[in-house]
Amino acid sequence: MPGRLQDKVAVITGGAGGIGRESARRFAEEGASVYVVDLDHGAGKDAAAEVGGSYIHADVTAPEDVQRMYREAAEGSGGIDVLFNNAGISPTDDESILNTDYEVWQRVQDVNLKSVYLCCKYGIPYLRERGGGSVINTASFVSVMGAATSQISYTASKGGVLSMSRELGVEFAREGIRVNALCPGPVSTPLLEELFANDPEKAARRMVHLPMGRFAEAVEIANAALFLASDESSYITSSTFMVDGGLSGAYVTPE
Ligand code: NAD
């Protein structure tokens, strides 16, 4: 039986990390040729090798790197069908606006928001050449909810990813290019584990708001990305695609 991404070529940024690596696995299991893009050479190569894909070392904040990575992927596989713009950072020195320095603010904006601009700007032309495709930009539940445990630049960057994705989805809808903002709830990945190891009290404060009483597993987010990448989601574009275990719908959670 053909896979759900049979004959598709997918470029996954941040493909060496928690969500990206699971997505590389799921995409490849469903027949995609996968390009893992990351800054982490060792983990990136491992992730690509595990799925029979290719690793491209690139910094998604650098325009020339982003152009090169798509060029390499398109030359290697004859085209590109799926852009999963997933690389992101959540550093601990990004916190309340009162304590967050401008340099920290800017670094987070560059990695989380400017990168998505660059990846769409230089990636969408390849989808146009193919006559269509799917763009999945990773936002977050914090693009629709406020937290008193603030990470001000992160939240603002993800709000930008959400609105940019919505607009791109509308602009390219008639060309068969779908653009969706994937909004994960908190996931147990190194990114969040590091944040919470540094501050268990913050972790407990957040857990109480989760209807399911647990964080997501990375594969649960990867499965949503797989759906958005595949033709099964052919009528879904410009969406705020929440995968948050009910977090954004909750007022009072079960005891
Ligand atoms: P992760 O830290 O496990 O993986 C992120 C990957 O991005 C890493 O491999 C890292 O090397 C790579 N990366 C960072 N900067 C880069 C750059 N400039 N160029 C290329 N690669 C770069 O994180 P994750 O939890 O898998 O998160 C993936 C995405 O999901 C991020 O955009 C994150 O903001 C978002 N997200 C995560 C959670 C969560 O709870 N973990 C929740 C909502 C949204």
Instruction: Please give the number of the atom of ligand 1 that sits closest to the Cα of 62.
Output: 18
Check residue 230 and give its pLDDT. 98
112 contacts 168 by C-beta, under 8 angstroms: no
Q: Which residue has the tokens 């992160």?
A: 154
CA distance 157 to 40: 22
CA distance 228 to 246: 19
pLDDT tens, residue by residue, 128-155: 999 999 999 999 999 999 999 899 999 9
Confidence of residue 201 (pLDDT cuts 50, 70, 90): confident
241 contacts 229 by C-beta, under 8 angstroms: no
Residue 18 Cβ < 6 Å to ligand 1: yes
CA distance 128 to 67: 15
Instruction: Please give the number of the atom of ligand 1 that sits closest to the Cα of 90.
Output: 34
Confidence of residue 86 (pLDDT cuts 50, 70, 90): very high
pTM of this structure = 0.97
Residue 83 Cβ < 6 Å to ligand 1: no
Region 231-243: what's the mean pLDDT?
98
pLDDT tens, residue by residue, 38-75: 999 999 999 999 999 999 999 999 999 999 999 999 99
191: pLDDT strictly greater than 70: no
Residue 90 Cβ < 6 Å to ligand 1: yes
Check residue 221 and give its pLDDT. 98
Region 173-182: what's the mean pLDDT?
99
Region 170-177: what's the mean pLDDT?
98
| Catalytic residue numbers, as ranges | 154
pLDDT tens, residue by residue, 17-26: 999 999 999 9
Instruction: Tell me how far apart the 2 most distant CA atoms of the chain are, in Å.
Output: 56
CA 73, 74, 78, 82 torsion: positive or negative? positive
